[in-house]
Structure 1
């Protein structure tokens, strides 16, 4: 099966869209960073380094310090697909991130987004 185009897409190109989506709904860039760091284990400096390096999604997730164990609790639909049913591990991580940003933009409380 061929790789998805998003795997080779630079995370730095998508990151501003995550921020814009959240900010349009009254959330902040810091909150977007918080959910990304929670999911991936990056600290803020590590996240900014990945953005500056323009790492693709494959590299971004491969170099992530530690995917949060509670990420398995992320459920729901993104782009018409249930995230818990996605078989490809990298695509599942990308969709988990999409789902977290969606929940942030919908005004969900941070404690619920971070599955605490």
Structure 2
């Protein structure tokens, strides 16, 4: 089975889309970065290096230093699919991030987004 095309997409390509979505709704780049740090464990410096190297999404998620164990608490629908029902681990991680950015854009408080 071939990998979904999204796996080979550069994180540097989707990151500005996350920022733009958040900023259109009055949220900030800093909040997007906080969500990414919470989900993956990357530091700001590591995140910047990954953006510079144009790391693909599969590598971005499979090599995340400290995936947050609370990410399993992320529930809901993204692109018509319940994130908790996705069986492919990398796709689930991608959709977790999509869901968290959606929540940010909808005005949800950071304390609730970061399910700790």
**One fold, TM greater than 0.5?**
yes
In the alignment, the residues of structure 2 paired with residue 74 and residue 16 of structure 1 have an alpha-carbon distance, to the nearest angstrom, of: 23
Residues 24-43 of structure 1 aligned to structure 2 (within 5 Å): 24-43=24-43
Residues 51-62 of structure 1 aligned to structure 2 (within 5 Å): 51-62=51-62
Equivalent in the alignment of 1:81: 81
Matched position secondary structure for 2:2? coil
Runs of 4+ displaced beyond 3 Å: none
Equivalent in the alignment of 1:13: 13
RMSD: 0.6
The alignment's TM-score, normalised by the length of structure 1, stands at 0.98
Question: Once the 2 structures are TM-superposed, how far is the Cα of residue 2 of structure 1 from its aligned partner?
Answer: 2.0
Question: Once the 2 structures are TM-superposed, how far is the Cα of residue 42 of structure 1 from its aligned partner?
Answer: 0.3
Equivalent in the alignment of 1:97: 97
Q: Deviations over 1:22-73 (max 9, x none)?
A: 0000000000000001000001111111111100001111221011000000
In the alignment, the residues of structure 2 paired with residue 39 and residue 87 of structure 1 have an alpha-carbon distance, to the nearest angstrom, of: 18
In the alignment, the residues of structure 1 paired with residue 49 and residue 93 of structure 2 have an alpha-carbon distance, to the nearest angstrom, of: 19
Matched position secondary structure for 2:13? helix
Equivalent in the alignment of 1:72: 72
The aligned length equals 116
Equivalent in the alignment of 2:47: 47
Stretches of structure 2 lacking an aligned partner (at least 5 in a row): none
The alignment's TM-score, normalised by the length of structure 2, stands at 0.98
